[in-house]
Amino acid sequence: MDILSNLALGFSVALSPWTLFLAVIGCFLGTIIGALPGLGPSNGVAILIPITFSLGLDATAALVLLTSVYYGAMYGGRISSILLNIPGDEPAMMTTLDGYPMARAGRAGEALVISGVASFVGAFLATVALALVAPYLARIAYRFGPAEYFALYALAFATLGGMTSNNQAKAALASFIGLALALIGLDNNSGFTRFTGGNLHLADGIDFLVAIVGLFAVSEVFFFIESHGRESALGVRLGKLVIPWGEIWSTRWTMLRSSVVGFIAGVLPGAGASLGSFMTYMMEKGIAGEKGGFGTGVAKGVAAPEAGNNAAAGGALVPMLTLGVPGSGTTAVLLAVLMTLNITPGPTLFADRPEVVWGLIAALLIANFVLLLMNVPMVRIFVRVLTVPPAILLPGVTMISFVGIYSLSGSYFDLLLMVGFGVMGYVFRKMDIPTVPVILGILLGYQMENNLRHAMTLSGGDWTYLFSSPIAIGLWVAAILGFVAPMFLRRFLRRPSVAEADRIVD
Amino acid sequence: MTFAFPKVLVASAVIALGIGTQAMATECIAPANPGGGWDFTCRQVGKILYDLKLVDQPVQVTNMAGGGGGLAFNYVVNERNTDPDLIVAASSATTTRLAQKAYGDARADQVRFVGAIGADPGVIVVAADSPYQTLTDLVEAIKADPGSVAFAGGSAAGGFDHMKPLQILKAAGFTDITKVKYIGVDGGADAITQTVGGFTQAMTGDMSEVVGFLKSGDIRVLAVLSEERVPGFEDIPTAREQGYDVVAVNWRGFYVPGGITDEQFNTWADRLRAVADSDEWKKAMADNGLAPFTKVGPDFQNWVNDVIAQTEELSREIGVIQ
């Protein structure tokens, strides 16, 4: 079989002691980078680029190291989401919603194990899919024009209202604030800068990592100061680490569904891992219904986003390798690395450089098993980093946040902005306004606006263009259903749901 | 075991910064994050400068991202105006943004453009199944109905990729250029995807962005916007041969602080010429899809002045600047 011989070639490249060693190092560093708030996969990979060059690694070795870091960071992001309620990186944002309640209920160990297994399932299936269908799947990108992308983002926002069950208006307010913040910076369609007040630091827009660290980590510092540490969210203890086989088995369909949806979200350029974890969480929440107890700390609530975002990480490699179009911030950095290594991703890469592509796929498979070992039986090592007393941990988290953000741009302005977001996060949490939609608005707003305006440019201002293809219509129907259905379902499901949810939490 | 991380980071930081931490070393500022074109220019040229013994210590590369290069520009003007040991990576994007006042109050004459040592030629591309066989077919279609062709490119509206088709259309005598449809997407590959997908009818970008798609047979290059046909791609005609006198190349080069002496300026011009002539640079260019394009010293400064004036005029016509 063609694929088996290709895979054999890949393993022959990747299975040397040296590359295995790099994979282990990369996985370890990646997991830590992912777990530390403020340092996500994209800056983790960016930080390591100079190292790969100064070590003089060849193309395969450099790729193995950097993709191990990439996958590792995707795994690691969940650790601080669960233990600290601070997402380690942006795709892990959704994992806070159920992971942290689980940890508070003394089930941190289970949450970590379930999410670790879900990460493995998602990443493993995505890597297999990458190997099997990448060259064909790349064709999907040709089917998505501005109208289709706009409908896709509309779908994400339409389902947002259902995320916080208590107050949809506040969720809507938060997402509009996020969308408004996304307008800051250079307007790609006119070439003018908007809402920057002439400040060059704002000309590139607001980096969502600045927003995420500010809203989650820095606001946590303010809560800590206010309560003198007594009521702080930090300091969750990891109980006895038992592997909850039954619970893992009960999430099997959730993991499989989420892997598929996450992978597809990853394949679409511009959607990426964050959208993957968001959509899978919303989908699973919808399937489980009110009685599923999503948001109160259920196993499916951590399994879905983790399978989703790790599958998306694999999916994002598809357009990067086959078209040279990065599907996420991290793949954009990886793309730059490939170009510097004199490998030009594109439609001919699989044919021109099979040893690189299949070596990479083999390395990803190896990295996945290494990561499963590190993140399930050995998860205590990473947890220990985060379970020191809050009085020590918090200044540490703050420092790492500042260093992490500063390493992005080398600009003090981003630090001020981050503190500003911290204040905003503090006020929002006091007012019970969810902060996740703000991040989502900043994350997707730029692309959403651009695609709408591209659609209008191409059609000469004709709105029906947005509904002109079967894919677009399908996405619009899903968006409308996602927005309207919860309103009706809630009425029917309300009464039994509360009782069920309580029982599960207890 | 938990302490391995800081150790590795420190160790790697030492490795990474080990080259050229001494105060008097020559510095090259790349006004972008590691990995991009400007970063590549700094690192490659910095290495060759030292290999050829044109500088006595390894060149230190500083990444200073922000404002599309504007932060670095303002920093050089305000803090380093007389530093003779500083070069800053630049390209067509730098001059386009200066022409459009995108760097705040900064003006091009606040620094000195010292040399370009390679260029990525502009291209106009259509999908393989497109009805347009030549550049003239495309131009005539736009002349007949400007709404019938939309371009996709990797730069924002008013950016360098947008300017290329506009320059061609002006050379063809078409003046109503505000009618030309253009969408700015995230990079050249994305622009090709939109064009192959049929959402836009043509793509405007750089040669290096289209090579992979050319080999796979997904696209057809209607014209390359260089002075001569590009080595290795001899079957692609230039716009000039087809009767449109347009040369639009994304050059890679440097500016130096505005306050240095003519002598110091000429020293840099000579060094860059030596780099451009070196085998090492020729290999780096070939590996990265760059075509030879060497202009240094006062020659280059004059050429840049012309390009900026031209960009300013076009930008005013399409309304990107007042």
Same domain? For B146 and B196 the reply is yes
pLDDT for B163 equals 92
Asked if A384 has any chain B CB less than 8 Å from its own CB, the reply is yes
pLDDT for B118 equals 92
Same domain? For B187 and B173 the reply is yes
pLDDT for B35 equals 62
* Position A84 pLDDT exceeds 60: yes
User: Which residues of chain B are within 8 Å of residue A381 when distances are taken between CB atoms?
Assistant: 1-2
pLDDT bin (cut points 50, 70, 90) of residue B237 is: very high
Percent of chain B with pLDDT over 90: 60
Same domain? For B109 and B173 the reply is no
Inter-residue contact B206 to B121 (CB < 8 Å)? yes
Same domain? For B116 and B132 the reply is no
A53, A200, A322: which to substitute to probe chain B, counting the most B Cβ within 10 Å? A200
Distance CA B57, CA B51 (A): 10
- Taken in order A459, A326, A74, A446, the sign of the CA dihedral is negative
* Position A128 pLDDT exceeds 80: yes
Inter-residue contact A209 to A92 (CB < 8 Å)? no
User: Which residues of chain A are within 8 Å of residue B9 when distances are taken between CB atoms?
Assistant: 47
pLDDT for A224 equals 77
**More confidently predicted of B237 and A203:** B237
- Taken in order A437, A439, B154, B290, the sign of the CA dihedral is negative
Q: How many residues does chain A have?
A: 506
Unique residue bearing structure tokens 């070196």? B278
User: Nearest C-alpha of chain A: how many angstroms from B158?
Assistant: 6
Within-domain flag for B48 = yes
Distance CA B153, CA B124 (A): 10
Name the residue among A172, A177, A194, A173 with its Cα closest to residue A185.
Answer: A194
**More confidently predicted of B29 and B232:** B29
Within-domain flag for B217 = yes
Taking CA–CA distances from B73, the nearest residue in chain A reads A200
Residue A189, Cα to own-chain centre: how many angstroms? Answer: 28
**More confidently predicted of A71 and A346:** A71
* Buried b / exposed e along B79-105 (16+ C-beta atoms within 10 A): ebeebbbbbbbbbbbbbbbbbbebbbe
Name the residue among A157, A348, A332 with its Cα closest to residue B190.
Answer: A332
Note whether ipTM > 0.95 here: no
Residue B73's CATH number: 3.40.190.150
Distance CA A100, CA A78 (A): 10
Burial (CB count <10 Å: 0-12, 13-18, 19+), residue A340: buried
Q: Which residues 281-300 of chain B have a CB within 8 Å of chain A?
A: 287-289
* Position B17 pLDDT exceeds 50: no
Q: Do A49 and B196 touch (CB under 8 A)?
A: no
* Position A397 pLDDT exceeds 50: yes
B10, B166, B183: which to substitute to probe chain A, counting the most A Cβ within 10 Å? B183
* Buried b / exposed e along A60-69 (16+ C-beta atoms within 10 A): bbbbbbbbbb
User: Nearest C-alpha of chain A: how many angstroms from B77?
Assistant: 15
β-pairing, B86-91 vs B150-153, is: unpaired
Taking phi over 0 as left and psi of -120 to 50 as alpha, with beta for the rest, A461 belongs to left
Q: Do A346 and B70 touch (CB under 8 A)?
A: no
Domain boundary (B242, B261, B288) is at B242
pLDDT for B288 equals 74
Burial (CB count <10 Å: 0-12, 13-18, 19+), residue B156: buried
Mean pLDDT of A13-34: 85
Name the residue among B204, B192, B127 with its Cα closest to residue B163.
Answer: B204
Distance CA A108, CA A79 (A): 9
- What is the SS3 assignment for A66? helix
**More confidently predicted of A78 and B221:** B221
- What is the SS3 assignment for B100? coil
* Position A162 pLDDT exceeds 60: no
Asked if A461 has any chain B CB less than 8 Å from its own CB, the reply is no
Domain range enclosing B78? 27-120+249-318
Taking CA–CA distances from A198, the nearest residue in chain B reads B104
Asked if B55 has any chain A CB less than 8 Å from its own CB, the reply is no
User: Residue B65: which of A29, A409, A458 has the nearest Cβ?
Assistant: A409
Within-domain flag for B87 = yes
Domain boundary (B199, B219, B242) is at B242
- Greatest CA separation for chain A: 64
Within-domain flag for B18 = no
* Position A297 pLDDT exceeds 70: yes
B193, B211, B322: which to substitute to probe chain A, counting the most A Cβ within 10 Å? B193
pLDDT for A408 equals 65
| Strands (E) located in A122-162 | none
Which of A244-248, A278-282, A321-325, B282-286 has the lowest average pLDDT? A321-325
Which residues are CB-neighbours of A499 under 8 A, at least 6 positions away? Answer: none
Residue B165's CATH number: 3.40.190.10
Name the residue among A326, A182, A185 with its Cα closest to residue B187.
Answer: A326
Q: How many residues does chain B have?
A: 322
* Position B189 pLDDT exceeds 60: yes
Mean pLDDT of B11-33: 58
pLDDT for B278 equals 94
Which of A108-117, B59-68, B125-134 has the lowest average pLDDT? B59-68
Name the residue among A190, A484, A142 with its Cα closest to residue A347.
Answer: A142
- What is the SS3 assignment for B225? coil
* Position A273 pLDDT exceeds 80: no
Residue B159, Cα to own-chain centre: how many angstroms? Answer: 11
Distance CA A257, CA A259 (A): 5
Taking CA–CA distances from A409, the nearest residue in chain B reads B65
Which residues are CB-neighbours of A473 under 8 A, at least 6 positions away? Answer: A467
pLDDT bin (cut points 50, 70, 90) of residue B13 is: very low
Q: Which pair of tokens denotes residue A301? A: 């609530």
Within-domain flag for B13 = no
β-pairing, B86-91 vs B249-257, is: antiparallel
pLDDT bin (cut points 50, 70, 90) of residue A135 is: low
pLDDT for A393 equals 72
Same domain? For B113 and B127 the reply is no
Same domain? For B146 and B230 the reply is yes
Same domain? For B58 and B202 the reply is no
Beta partners for B238? B224
Share the mean pLDDT of chain A: 80
* Position B56 pLDDT exceeds 80: yes
Domain boundary (B208, B242, B276) is at B242
Inter-residue contact B44 to B9 (CB < 8 Å)? no
Asked if B6 has any chain A CB less than 8 Å from its own CB, the reply is no
First and final C-alpha spacing in chain B: 60
- What is the SS3 assignment for A230? coil
pLDDT bin (cut points 50, 70, 90) of residue A271 is: low
Which residues are CB-neighbours of B159 under 8 A, at least 6 positions away? Answer: A191, B93, B96, B153, B184
Distance CA B182, CA B149 (A): 9
pLDDT bin (cut points 50, 70, 90) of residue B304 is: very high
Within-domain flag for B2 = no
Q: Which pair of tokens denotes residue B278? A: 């070196």
User: Residue A50: which of B34, B182, B192 has the nearest Cβ?
Assistant: B34
Asked if B193 has any chain A CB less than 8 Å from its own CB, the reply is yes
Asked if A186 has any chain B CB less than 8 Å from its own CB, the reply is yes
Which of A352-361, B40-49, B86-95, B218-227 has the lowest average pLDDT? A352-361
pLDDT for B268 equals 95
Q: Which pair of tokens denotes residue A277? A: 């974890």
pLDDT bin (cut points 50, 70, 90) of residue A83 is: confident
Mean pLDDT of B20-30: 69
| Rounded-to-5 percentages of helix, strand, coil across chain A | 80, 0, 20
Which of A336-345, A353-362, B102-111, B224-233 has the lowest average pLDDT? A336-345
Asked if B151 has any chain A CB less than 8 Å from its own CB, the reply is no
Inter-residue contact A501 to A291 (CB < 8 Å)? yes
Within-domain flag for B22 = no
Q: Which residues 214-253 of chain A have a CB within 8 Å of chain B?
A: none
Unique residue bearing structure tokens 């306050």? B259
Same domain? For B84 and B166 the reply is no
Mean pLDDT of A215-228: 79
* Position A14 pLDDT exceeds 80: no
A43, A55, A68, A142: which to substitute to probe chain B, counting the most B Cβ within 10 Å? A142
- Give whole-number Cα distances, B209 to A395, B142, B229, B292, in Å: 45, 24, 17, 17
Taking phi over 0 as left and psi of -120 to 50 as alpha, with beta for the rest, A453 belongs to alpha
Backbone angles phi and psi of B46, in degrees to 5: -60, -45
Q: Do B189 and A346 touch (CB under 8 A)?
A: yes
Same domain? For B113 and B254 the reply is yes
User: Which residues of chain B are within 8 Å of residue A460 when distances are taken between CB atoms?
Assistant: 147
* Position A496 pLDDT exceeds 60: no
Residue A68 corresponds to which amino acid? S
pLDDT 10s digits, B119-172: 999 999 999 999 999 999 999 999 999 999 999 998 888 889 999 999 999 999
User: Nearest C-alpha of chain B: how many angstroms from A174?
Assistant: 27
User: Residue A203: which of B67, B150, B194 has the nearest Cβ?
Assistant: B67
Mean pLDDT of A372-396: 76
Taking phi over 0 as left and psi of -120 to 50 as alpha, with beta for the rest, A192 belongs to beta
Same domain? For B210 and B264 the reply is no
Mean pLDDT of A253-270: 85
Name the residue among B156, B134, B142 with its Cα closest to residue B320.
Answer: B156
* Buried b / exposed e along B265-302 (16+ C-beta atoms within 10 A): bebbbebbbbbbebeebeebbeebbbbbbbbbbeebbe
Asked if B197 has any chain A CB less than 8 Å from its own CB, the reply is yes
* Position B27 pLDDT exceeds 80: yes
User: Which residues of chain B are within 8 Å of residue A65 when distances are taken between CB atoms?
Assistant: none
The DSSP letter of residue B80 is -
* Position A19 pLDDT exceeds 50: yes
Which of A40-44, A72-76, A174-178 has the lowest average pLDDT? A40-44
Output the DSSP codes for A73-119. Answer: HHHHHHHHHHHHSS-SSGGGGGHHHHHHHHIIIIIHHHHHHHHHHHH
A45, A188, A385, A449: which to substitute to probe chain B, counting the most B Cβ within 10 Å? A188
Domain count, chain B: 2
> CA angle, A56 as apex, A375 and B16 as ends, to 5°?
80
User: Nearest C-alpha of chain B: how many angstroms from A146?
Assistant: 8
The DSSP letter of residue A166 is S
pLDDT for A485 equals 67
Share the mean pLDDT of chain B: 87
**Neighbour tally for A181: CB within 10 Å:** 22
